[in-house]
Structure 1
Amino acid sequence: MFARIVKMTFQPDKIDLFLENFHKNKMKIRNFEGCVSLELFRDKNDPSIFFTYSWWKTENDLEKYRNSDLFKTVWSDTKVLFSDKPEAWSIDKIESLH
Structure 2
Amino acid sequence: MFVRIVKMSFEASNIEKFLQNFNNNKEKIRNFKGCRLLELYRDKKEPTVFFTYSYWESEQDLENYRNSELFKSVWTKTKKLFNKKPEAWSVDKLFVLE
TM range, smaller chain:
over 0.9
**Equivalent in the alignment of 2:15:** 15
**Equivalent in the alignment of 1:35:** 35
| Structure 2 length-normalised TM | 0.99
* One-letter code aligned to 2:40: L
RMSD: 0.3
**Equivalent in the alignment of 2:64:** 64
Runs of 4+ that moved beyond 2 A: none
1:23-58 CA distances to partner (integer Å, 9 max, x unpaired)?
000000000000001000000001000000000000
**Equivalent in the alignment of 1:48:** 48
CA positional deviation for 1:6: 0.1
| Structure 1 length-normalised TM | 0.99
Q: Which runs of 5+ in 1 are unaligned?
A: none
* One-letter code aligned to 2:81: L
Distance in 1, matches of 2:45 and 2:68, equals: 34
**Equivalent in the alignment of 2:93:** 93
**Equivalent in the alignment of 1:84:** 84
Distance in 2, matches of 1:95 and 1:56, equals: 16
Q: How many residues align?
A: 98
Distance in 1, matches of 2:19 and 2:32, equals: 19
Distance in 1, matches of 2:76 and 2:11, equals: 15
* One-letter code aligned to 1:38: L
